[in-house]
Amino acid sequence: METLFGDLEEIKDGDSAFFADVILPVPIPKMFTYKIPRNLKEEIGIGFRVIVQFGKKKILTGIIAKVHQKPPTSYEAKPILDVLEAHASVNPIQIRFWAWMAEYYCCHIGEVMNAALPSGLKLSSESKIQLNPTFDADTSPYPLDDREELLLQALRQKEEMSYEDCEVVLGIKSIHGIIKSLVIKEAILVFEEVKEKYNPKVETRIRLNSEISRDKKALEAVFNEVSSKPKQEEILLKYLQEVPVYRNPELNQKGLEKKVLIDAGMSVSSLKTLIKNGVLEEYKIIVSRFEDEQSLEEGVVLSEGQQQAQQEIKAAFEEKNTVLLHGITGSGKTEVYITLIQEALAGGSQVLLLLPEIALTTHIVGRLRQVFGGKMGVYHSKYSDNERVEVWNGVLSGKFSFVVGVRSSIFLPFDSLGLVIVDEEHEISFKQFDPAPRFHARDAAIMLSWLHQAKTLLGTATPSFETFYNARMKKYGYVTLEKRYGDAQLPEYHLADMLVDKKKNLLKLDFTRLMREKIQDALNNQEQVLIFQNRRGYAPYISCEDCGWIPECEHCDVSLTYHQFGAEMRCHYCGFKEKVPHSCPACGSSKLSAVGLGTERIEESLGLLFPEARIARMDLDTTRSKYGYQRILEDFGSGNVDILVGTQMITKGLDFEKVTVVGIMDADRILYFPDFRAGERAFQQLTQVAGRAGRREKRGVVIIQTRRPEQQIFQQIMAGDYKNFYIQEMGERQRFFYPPFVKLLKITTRHKDFKTAEKAAKHLHNLMGDIQVKKILLGPEKGLIGKIKNQFIFESIAKLDRTGNAQSQFKHELLLILEELQAHKEFRGIRFIVDVDPY
Ligand SMILES: Nc1ncnc2c1ncn2[C@@H]1O[C@H](COP(=O)(O)OP(=O)(O)OP(=O)(O)O)[C@@H](O)[C@H]1O
Ligand SMILES: [Zn+2]
């Protein structure tokens, strides 16, 4: 594949032929080169959407990545059929960003494009058209020709039509020109059928006939006329009350939402009559799905510490592109961000703030809204495609100069970013697991920033080792905030030994005596409690007490999780469900019992231990709906809930003043995870969840339940001694060659047949062994979970030297190998997946 990165050319004048490299939405490694017809030469450039033929029959829409004068050597270039709009849909920086991402994360640029564009903006041969609801042929300044008229007529009957339908209606083959013309005349909208179509939100409004609105005499005449028709009079009076046209005739222009009149109980038929008689007029407009929120306040007042941090960050930006803000939980990083964002916006730059999960950080978004009002766009993982398109267009139009978003917001069409902030940069939810591109949004954001010559601020109380390492190596600037805002204290920690309590018969329903006492204290004082357990469902598994049988998923190599709700056993990998059997299918015994602790069971136990308390649960199962999180958090925030049980969801960014007690049910489960990052994660998760306690006047209490309280990591967490913990763990990482000392690549082989998967994995492994770069290769081994969704899984790990070009060389050759394997008959149907920087 030709590398694009840093190598973009504009069209040059001259007589010889021009070619365009086009990104197509298909999983092929290369871009294809098409010839630019002379008549289109002036109309086309980088980022334009064009229609091309692909293969023998397919018509696809692609995006031009590069324009040049080098004809392809191995095939004859086909011509571009047409260009879709008179402007570029994506800008050159976006294309360079896509190209970088494809190269770095070993995937196809078409896959990056697919991830980057909201489906409302994608096009393929499946494209369909619909009427633009605001189009009015009578008032449109553009005349329509006969064929356009015919097509619109057909559309009024059918609501939507495919390109083929259009061809049939018009009886001609090449309809792209007509469609384009209708799009330009704003008569139709083009959308993609496979996904949800872009549906602009339309509002029906009412206003006075403009003649009448400007002429007081005419208005009086109208009132005289309706004086005998009280219902009509009522409507007119209501309108004038809402829209005081008497005082300012200009107001009539904007009219009034029809709904306001209807909701006020006005007669629908009288309204119709007024419209029919030409007194009022009804019209439609496209409105934003997002209310135009006003900002309430101008600025923020930083504490002394925050002010100093802010100054230090700005000074560090003088020398470094990226700065780490290491501020303890509750130190008020948000306020520091706000002042930096304000300055960047005042300087005319765009700003992007990345959050791991917006739904869980409602208070941050609310806080930002107060300051930035309607110029802030929000890009959410639970947004519909329509809402995404509106944010996209808002960035393009300049309406949103500042966006708060989740990882996919790095693909928005920014053209002048000045500042990118990644909050909670250590969060693993910034990494996209599936499908490709398997990118890490923090790392990608740093690259995006660099392309814009912008600055990146990484904020967290518990930096990822990668980031902290870069800060210590002076690659990043480093600024700290060591005090909580308003002199709130860090919480007081207690270790509760579960084994000791068990021996003394003090462990009740998995709660140690200390944990129960502290919860009771909080309840007595009308304070709130968070209980953390990183496992949803009722119990991790069910087991037969007599023979030890454990039910497993039919499709995956995992045990089924018991969910009491619905008395079901579910696979958390593929969603497979089964009713709990009445007796053990292996030995017939009826002694089946639930083993281990999930959030559902903890919720139940809390109900038994504290019958007077109001308890809620927050995990994947209770937050599937669009406003699921919000409802639970609002309930908790307004004091309708005393105890909230949850998975890692409750560790993210929560800031509730009445939370004084945080309980961690089973710290060992987090520590003994078979992964080199287990220690780092445990430190982060425990510190973060503990940080939710006592964020105001009253000091918080944290209880960590464990079977091994002597472990050193607990002392380090309790002392907030991140640095020593880091140094110690880094020693291990260096000794055993783990990141950040090497670059990791995980190469997964999947197939429904065990032997085939194994054979392919071994073959691939051997070929990788021949790549001549400094590396360590591990595997291939059966995956940690050997089978998922009926596919057997083998994994190889490559540890690559970070210096020099070992990484790029290895990736380059690996892609060639994969291409070759995939073409091989024997390995057809096998999936090879490359994950760069796997988590
Ligand atoms: N300058 C300020 N003026 C008024 N309130 C502030 C100020 N700084 C912080 N606060 C308040 O202090 C609390 C903690 O701030 P914030 O949530 O930003 O902390 P944080 O550093 O993001 O913590 P965490 O990492 O735990 O999420 C919030 O309620 C916030 O509104
Ligand atoms: Zn399964």
Examine the pLDDT at 191 and tell me if it is beyond 70: no
Examine the pLDDT at 10 and tell me if it is beyond 70: no
Which two structure tokens, joined as six digits, stand for 810? 């290895």
How far is ligand 2, taken at its centre, from the CA of residue 536, in Å? 16
How far is ligand 2, taken at its centre, from the CA of residue 409, in Å? 31
Examine the pLDDT at 61 and tell me if it is beyond 70: yes
In whole angstroms, give the CA distance from residue 490 to residue 328: 9
pLDDT of amino acid 107:
92
Instruction: Categorize the per-residue pLDDT at 291 as very low, low, confident or very high, splitting at 50, 70 and 90.
Output: low
3-state DSSP: the chain helix, strand, coil percent, rounded to 5?
40, 25, 40
| 481 CA: nearest ligand 1 atom | 21
Examine the pLDDT at 432 and tell me if it is beyond 90: yes
Protein residue with least CA distance to atom 27, ligand 1 = 653
Question: For residue 551, which ligand has an atom nearest its CA?
Answer: 2
Probe residue for ligand 1, chosen from 370, 655, 687, 688 as the CB with the greatest number of ligand atoms within 8 Å? 655
pLDDT of amino acid 141:
79
Q: Which amino acid is at 748?
A: T
Which residue, 119, 194, 117, 114, is CA-closest to 385? 119
pLDDT of amino acid 358:
80
Query: Chain centroid to CA 178: how far?
Result: 37
Instruction: Categorize the per-residue pLDDT at 344 as very low, low, confident or very high, splitting at 50, 70 and 90.
Output: very high
In CATH, which superfamily holds the domain spanning 304-485? P-loop containing nucleotide triphosphate hydrolases (3.40.50.300)
Question: For residue 559, which ligand has an atom nearest its CA?
Answer: 2
Q: Which residue has the higher pLDDT, 688 or 121?
A: 688
Q: Which residue has the higher pLDDT, 808 or 247?
A: 808
In whole angstroms, give the CA distance from residue 808 to residue 443: 16
Q: What is the rounded average pLDDT for all residues in the chain?
A: 88
Instruction: CATH number for 742-836: choose from 3.90.230.10, 2.40.160.20, 3.30.70.600, 3.40.50.720.
Output: 3.30.70.600
Cβ-count burial 178-210 (b if 16+ within 10 Å, e if not)? bbbbbbebebbbbbbeeeebbbbeeeebbbbbe
> How much is the CA Rg of the chain, to the nearest whole Å?
31
Protein residue with least CA distance to atom 15, ligand 1 = 332
Protein residue with least CA distance to atom 9, ligand 1 = 332
pLDDT of amino acid 710:
93
Examine the pLDDT at 5 and tell me if it is beyond 80: no
pLDDT of amino acid 626:
74
Mean pLDDT of 610-620: 95
Is 544 marked within a binding site? Answer: yes
pLDDT in tens, 463-479: 999 999 999 999 999 99
pLDDT of amino acid 654:
84
pLDDT in tens, 102-112: 999 999 999 99
Residues 6+ apart with CB under 8 A from 400: 375, 376, 377, 391, 394
In whole angstroms, give the CA distance from residue 578 to residue 558: 14
Is 106 marked within a binding site? Answer: no
Question: For residue 307, which ligand has an atom nearest its CA?
Answer: 1
pLDDT in tens, 13-48: 445 789 999 998 877 778 889 999 888 888 889 999
Q: Are 63 and 22 in contact (CB under 8 A)?
A: yes
Protein residue with least CA distance to atom 8, ligand 1 = 332
Instruction: Categorize the per-residue pLDDT at 293 as very low, low, confident or very high, splitting at 50, 70 and 90.
Output: low
How far is ligand 1, taken at its centre, from the CA of residue 474, in Å? 28
Examine the pLDDT at 198 and tell me if it is beyond 60: no
Probe residue for ligand 1, chosen from 358, 485, 490, 687 as the CB with the greatest number of ligand atoms within 8 Å? 485
Kindly report which listed range (358-372, 719-733, 756-770) carries the lowest average pLDDT score.
Answer: 358-372
Examine the pLDDT at 6 and tell me if it is beyond 70: no
Kindly report which listed range (195-209, 556-570, 594-608, 815-829) carries the lowest average pLDDT score.
Answer: 195-209
* Residues in the chain, total: 839
Work out the percent of the chain whose per-residue pLDDT is above 70. 94
pLDDT in tens, 789-807: 889 999 999 999 988 899 9
Protein residue with least CA distance to atom 16, ligand 1 = 332
pLDDT of amino acid 492:
94
Protein residue with least CA distance to atom 25, ligand 1 = 329
What residues line ligand 1, using a CB cutoff of 6 Å? 300-303, 306, 327, 329-335, 461, 485, 653, 655, 691, 695
**Structural domain 19-121, CATH architecture:** 3-Layer(aba) Sandwich (3.40)
Protein residue with least CA distance to atom 29, ligand 1 = 655
| 363 CA: nearest ligand 1 atom | 17
Examine the pLDDT at 189 and tell me if it is beyond 80: no
How far is ligand 2, taken at its centre, from the CA of residue 786, in Å? 11
How far is ligand 1, taken at its centre, from the CA of residue 655, in Å? 8
How far is ligand 1, taken at its centre, from the CA of residue 735, in Å? 39
Which two structure tokens, joined as six digits, stand for 696? 């105001």
How far is ligand 2, taken at its centre, from the CA of residue 556, in Å? 4
Work out the percent of the chain whose per-residue pLDDT is above 90. 52
In whole angstroms, give the CA distance from residue 52 to residue 66: 15
Name 397's bridge partners. none
| 692 CA: nearest ligand 1 atom | 26
Examine the pLDDT at 303 and tell me if it is beyond 80: yes
Examine the pLDDT at 124 and tell me if it is beyond 50: no
pLDDT in tens, 505-548: 999 999 999 999 999 999 999 999 999 998 888 888 888 888 88
Question: For residue 561, which ligand has an atom nearest its CA?
Answer: 2
pLDDT of amino acid 412:
96
Examine the pLDDT at 11 and tell me if it is beyond 60: no
- Topology (CATH) of 492-535+597-730: Rossmann fold (3.40.50)
How far is ligand 1, taken at its centre, from the CA of residue 695, in Å? 9
Examine the pLDDT at 295 and tell me if it is beyond 70: no
Is 584 marked within a binding site? Answer: yes
Q: Which residue has the higher pLDDT, 173 or 490?
A: 490
- What does pTM read for this prediction? 0.80
Mean pLDDT of 206-220: 85
- The Cα angle at residue 395 between residues 136 and 92, in degrees rounded to 5: 110
Instruction: Categorize the per-residue pLDDT at 349 as very low, low, confident or very high, splitting at 50, 70 and 90.
Output: very high
